[in-house]
Chains A and B, each alone.
Chain A
Amino acid sequence: MDSLNAIVLLLNYLFVPALSYGSQLALGAIFVSLIYGILRFAYFTAGDLMSFGTMFTILFTWYFQSLGINLGILPTALLAIPFGVAITILYVLVKDKLVFSYYRTQKSPPVMLAMVSIGTMFITQAIVRIVIGPFDRRFFDGEKFILKANEFKEMTGLNEGLTIKSTQVITLLVTIVVVSILFWFLNRTKTGKSMRAYSDNEDLALLSGIDPKKVVMITWIIAAILATIGGALYGLDKSFKPFTYFNNMLPIFAAAIVGGIGNPFGAFLGGYVIAFSEILLTYAYKKFFVYLLPESLEPDGLLQLLSTDYKFAVSFSILVIVLLFRPSGIFKGKVL
């Protein structure tokens, strides 16, 4: 019984939150990785693009709510995501046309493009803050829990409860669907294959008649889709605040690099690596060991490896370690 309790405890506080947080990071990391692979620069607008997409999702959610449209037990935001995606796609394509395409034709070095993306980061951030303001917004509605701690306790008779929020399940399901479609697209369709070819060897791809404009456009569209979905899921699960989204850029980059930059599948796994290590290293294991060990061996301290204040620092340290020992990432991307 005690060991079951211990497992449920870990499931509740470690596994489930890490899985949903990891999915949100993974979606971001995939598009950062794709942009790096195909457009060949570090896209610093990543976090703010997510907040841009989420902002429009929220605006549409509010609009639908005012019209009285909802999805019953599901959050209305799910209905609003496609509209948010559409506007974000429009935004990135306009941005590409106005800003990035010039530097591509000039064959500017990647650093230049990264700098330019800092310029667009400032602008995106300004737009988000001017339109919706810098404050915390919650836009979740519908049924909050799938499984409540009390229900679980009654069901199983254990001391520890297991809570599963509906947003966590939605996050996981949406991520699985989106990511499987994406990998099907990249591996099976002609356009996807041409994108991978372009990423592997630009000159060869151009020689074999691949249209670079189309590849670039599709990349931006995928980026916008992933950014909006990832951002909206994060916002549903926690809350929407532009500053947090900007900060999320950092673990997203860490995930992309840890997974192997330019390798979308690696980035996908990298998201989970970062999320799990953040939560594993900052969790206080005292209760866990209280269940497992006999009373005489009960630990005194919290048995926390690092205080939760260092959550972000953990992912960055992992990044540094990976850079030191395996610069191509855990799952072999491009060598930096």
Chain B
Amino acid sequence: MRKNLDIISAYSIMLGLIILVGFLQSWSMALSILCLCLISAVMTMGANIQWGYAGLINFGIMGYTALGGLAAVLVSVPPVREAWQVGGFNMILCAFLIAFMVFSIRLIMKKYRQSKKRSYGIAAIIIVGLILLRLISAPAIESIESVSPATTGFLGGMGLPILFSWIVGAFFAGALAYIIGKIALGLRADYLAIATLLISEIVISIIKHEDWLARGVKNVIGLKRPVPYEVDLQSKEWFINLVEKFNQGALNLISNSLERQEALKQFVIESSTVFIKLCFAGLFTVVVIILLIITQKALYSPWGRMMRAIRDNEEAANAMGKNVVKQHLLIFVLGSAIVGIAGAMMVTYDGLFTPGSYRPMRYTFLIWVMVIVGGSGNNFGAILGGFAVWFLWVEAAPIALFLINFFTSGLEETNAFRVHLVNSIPYFRFLMMGIGLLLIMRYRPKGILPEKIKHI
């Protein structure tokens, strides 16, 4: 018990803060902070596996998150039959063509030694393939996008429950990570960072501009939910009874039955949003706990020890017969897959997919702040980092407002300087993140909850 005291105290402080928000602002707000904290925690766990276990720096988190989100769309949206009719065949043909290109290039790579001829051959296959792809896909894309462009204009998805997408998202992100890993894992650490950052931008620009895939910047809205809708909930007998029971005290104070009815209705509406967010929080908690158990087990398994050995001394691990390249690739894929789950969870929670909102600041750098602040190499630390940083990110505005009012209290309400500061409150969160990151890196470079290595 004692050795885990720091973990327990840090988490209780965090939960206390969220509960405080519930009392001071609103429970709905507190729960949405909690939900996004949980999603951020999943993302940080993914990044932490790569950075903390293996020392791989991955700035492509935004790309995997977006792919997870894309998976949510492709799994849950019902297929658009008309679009499939007009363009489906060509698109499938394109998929086969790409597969054929990849296989033939692999075959050539395997069969022939490196030579000028081989390079030219591969280049020829790629160029011819791209031209063919363009020729086949262009008319199909045009006709797909013209199928009632205001509502669909894309191929649609599979029409399955959205929960499946959490797994599919992991596969999507893992597949992307495999490709990126093959290309970029040989690079030195900070250049791996830049390469992954740029590749994730490529992924985003493809998702943004290929409208036939997921409507691009026109967004997909109204995704199915794994939990009930507020409107349905408000008319359910058992839910109304439940709310009545909870608010017995407040309702009993009202003697007038009509007013009482009215108050109950108000309570039901308020509680329904809270209830749904609770459902989401429950689902997310289950995911976080499952991942936590798996990653914790992995960390203390022989495999985890091998990863740490590779991280701390690559040459030595290599000399001991560990396949460094292969293990790096494996952990790169695993970590990215976890981020993919988080991306799907996030779209599920929001109920909409907005490719335009994927920006490196929010989805890559912020996640990295979480990992560094929380404690790399320690899963509890990573989760805590996700909670703490997201909490600060959301609550930065009220805190900044309070501080500005405090420090400029000598000035008049209409003072130009004060008004300017109050207007730029949203940007103080960047300042807080930066200062927080720098302070942690200076005075506690291993994070709030540093890595603990059990020596056997």
In chain B, positions 34-76 with a C-beta closer than 8 Å to chain A are 57
User: Who on chain B is nearest to A327 by CB?
Assistant: B187
A253 contact set on B, CB distance < 8 A = 194, 197-198
In chain B, positions 330-373 with a C-beta closer than 8 Å to chain A are 361, 365, 368-369, 372
Bound-state Cα–Cα, A324 to B199, Å: 13
- Is the CB–CB distance between A112 and B441 below 8 Å? yes
- Is the CB–CB distance between B190 and A114 below 8 Å? yes
A299 contact set on B, CB distance < 8 A = none
The answer to the question of A16 belonging to the interface, with a C-beta cut-off of 8 Å to chain B, is no
- Is the CB–CB distance between A129 and B188 below 8 Å? no
In chain A, positions 231-259 with a C-beta closer than 8 Å to chain B are 246, 250, 253-254, 257
- The CB with the most chain B CB atoms within 10 A, among A111, A246, A254, is that of A111
- Is the CB–CB distance between A126 and B427 below 8 Å? yes
The answer to the question of A87 belonging to the interface, with a C-beta cut-off of 8 Å to chain B, is no
The answer to the question of A1 belonging to the interface, with a C-beta cut-off of 8 Å to chain B, is no
Contact string against B for A residues 294-335, beta-carbon threshold 8 Å, 1 for contact and 0 otherwise:
000000000000010110110011011001100100000000
- Is the CB–CB distance between A42 and B194 below 8 Å? yes
- Is the CB–CB distance between A123 and B435 below 8 Å? yes
Bound-state Cα–Cα, A42 to B195, Å: 12
The answer to the question of A122 belonging to the interface, with a C-beta cut-off of 8 Å to chain B, is yes
Could you tell me the dominant secondary structure of chain B's interface residues?
Answer: helix
A42 touches which of B190, B368, B442 (Cβ 8 Å): B190
The answer to the question of B158 belonging to the interface, with a C-beta cut-off of 8 Å to chain A, is no
Contact string against A for B residues 181-202, beta-carbon threshold 8 Å, 1 for contact and 0 otherwise:
0011011111101110111011
- Is the CB–CB distance between B189 and A110 below 8 Å? yes
Tell me how far the C-beta of B141 lies from the nearest C-beta in chain A, rounded to whole angstroms: 11
Tell me how far the C-beta of A307 lies from the nearest C-beta in chain B, rounded to whole angstroms: 7
Bound-state Cα–Cα, A99 to B201, Å: 29
- Is the CB–CB distance between B193 and A114 below 8 Å? yes
Bound-state Cα–Cα, A254 to B368, Å: 21
User: Who on chain B is nearest to A319 by CB?
Assistant: B198
- Is the CB–CB distance between A118 and B368 below 8 Å? yes
Using A119-B437, A309-B205 as known contacts, list a sample of 9 further A-B pairs with CB atoms less than 8 Å apart, ordered by residue number in A: A111-B193, A116-B438, A116-B441, A123-B434, A125-B427, A253-B194, A316-B202, A320-B184, A324-B183
Bound-state Cα–Cα, A312 to B204, Å: 11
Query: A313-B206, A323-B184 are contacts. A257–B201 as well, Cβ < 8 Å?
Result: no
Bound-state Cα–Cα, A171 to B268, Å: 64
User: Who on chain B is nearest to A117 by CB?
Assistant: B190
The answer to the question of B424 belonging to the interface, with a C-beta cut-off of 8 Å to chain A, is yes
Q: Provide a sorted-by-A list of 12 A–B residue pairs whose CB atoms are within 8 angstroms.
A: A110-B188, A112-B441, A116-B438, A116-B441, A118-B369, A123-B434, A123-B438, A126-B434, A307-B209, A313-B206, A323-B183, A323-B187
The answer to the question of A181 belonging to the interface, with a C-beta cut-off of 8 Å to chain B, is no
The answer to the question of A157 belonging to the interface, with a C-beta cut-off of 8 Å to chain B, is no
- Is the CB–CB distance between A250 and B201 below 8 Å? yes
Bound-state Cα–Cα, A111 to B58, Å: 11
Tell me how far the C-beta of A5 lies from the nearest C-beta in chain B, rounded to whole angstroms: 28
Tell me how far the C-beta of B332 lies from the nearest C-beta in chain A, rounded to whole angstroms: 16
B445 contact set on A, CB distance < 8 A = 112
A111 contact set on B, CB distance < 8 A = 57, 189-190, 193
- Is the CB–CB distance between B435 and A336 below 8 Å? no
Contact string against B for A residues 96-124, beta-carbon threshold 8 Å, 1 for contact and 0 otherwise:
00010010000001111011101111111
Query: A126-B434, A127-B431, A309-B208 are contacts. A320–B195 as well, Cβ < 8 Å?
Result: yes
B193 contact set on A, CB distance < 8 A = 42, 111, 114
- Is the CB–CB distance between A257 and B434 below 8 Å? no
Query: A316-B198, A320-B199 are contacts. A336–B191 as well, Cβ < 8 Å?
Result: yes
B438 contact set on A, CB distance < 8 A = 99, 116, 119-120, 123
In chain B, positions 65-93 with a C-beta closer than 8 Å to chain A are none
Bound-state Cα–Cα, A320 to B201, Å: 12
- The CB with the most chain B CB atoms within 10 A, among A42, A116, A124, A246, is that of A42
Bound-state Cα–Cα, A201 to B208, Å: 45
A320 contact set on B, CB distance < 8 A = 183-184, 195, 198-199
- Is the CB–CB distance between B202 and A317 below 8 Å? yes
Total contacts A to B, CB within 8 angstroms? 121
A313 touches which of B184, B191, B202, B423 (Cβ 8 Å): B202
A129 contact set on B, CB distance < 8 A = 424, 427, 430
The answer to the question of A130 belonging to the interface, with a C-beta cut-off of 8 Å to chain B, is yes
B441 contact set on A, CB distance < 8 A = 112, 115-116, 119
Bound-state Cα–Cα, A126 to B437, Å: 14
Residue tally, chain B, CB below 8 Å to A: 42
The answer to the question of A268 belonging to the interface, with a C-beta cut-off of 8 Å to chain B, is no
- Is the CB–CB distance between B195 and A118 below 8 Å? no
Bound-state Cα–Cα, A102 to B197, Å: 27
- Is the CB–CB distance between B424 and A257 below 8 Å? no
A27 contact set on B, CB distance < 8 A = none
The answer to the question of A261 belonging to the interface, with a C-beta cut-off of 8 Å to chain B, is yes
The answer to the question of A142 belonging to the interface, with a C-beta cut-off of 8 Å to chain B, is no
| For the complex of A and B, 8 pairs with smallest distance between CB atoms | A122-B434, A123-B434, A126-B431, A126-B430, A129-B427, A119-B437, A316-B198, A309-B209
Query: A112-B441, A120-B438, A313-B205 are contacts. A261–B191 as well, Cβ < 8 Å?
Result: yes
User: Who on chain A is nearest to B203 by CB?
Assistant: A313
- The CB with the most chain B CB atoms within 10 A, among A116, A133, A261, A316, is that of A316
Tell me how far the C-beta of B377 lies from the nearest C-beta in chain A, rounded to whole angstroms: 14
- Is the CB–CB distance between A250 and B190 below 8 Å? no
Bound-state Cα–Cα, A120 to B368, Å: 14
A110 contact set on B, CB distance < 8 A = 188-190
In chain B, positions 302-340 with a C-beta closer than 8 Å to chain A are none
A130 touches which of B187, B361, B427 (Cβ 8 Å): B427
Tell me how far the C-beta of B105 lies from the nearest C-beta in chain A, rounded to whole angstroms: 13
A102 contact set on B, CB distance < 8 A = 442
Query: A41-B190, A313-B205, A336-B191 are contacts. A122–B431 as well, Cβ < 8 Å?
Result: yes
Bound-state Cα–Cα, A320 to B203, Å: 13
User: Who on chain B is nearest to A128 by CB?
Assistant: B427
Bound-state Cα–Cα, A254 to B189, Å: 16
- Is the CB–CB distance between B189 and A316 below 8 Å? no
- Is the CB–CB distance between B198 and A118 below 8 Å? no
A41 contact set on B, CB distance < 8 A = 190
Tell me how far the C-beta of A281 lies from the nearest C-beta in chain B, rounded to whole angstroms: 12
- Is the CB–CB distance between B201 and A313 below 8 Å? yes
The answer to the question of B11 belonging to the interface, with a C-beta cut-off of 8 Å to chain A, is no
Contact string against A for B residues 410-442, beta-carbon threshold 8 Å, 1 for contact and 0 otherwise:
000000000001011001111101110110011
A122 touches which of B194, B198, B423, B433 (Cβ 8 Å): B433
- Is the CB–CB distance between A250 and B430 below 8 Å? no
Bound-state Cα–Cα, A145 to B128, Å: 43
B434 contact set on A, CB distance < 8 A = 119-126
Bound-state Cα–Cα, A123 to B431, Å: 5
B194 contact set on A, CB distance < 8 A = 42, 253, 257
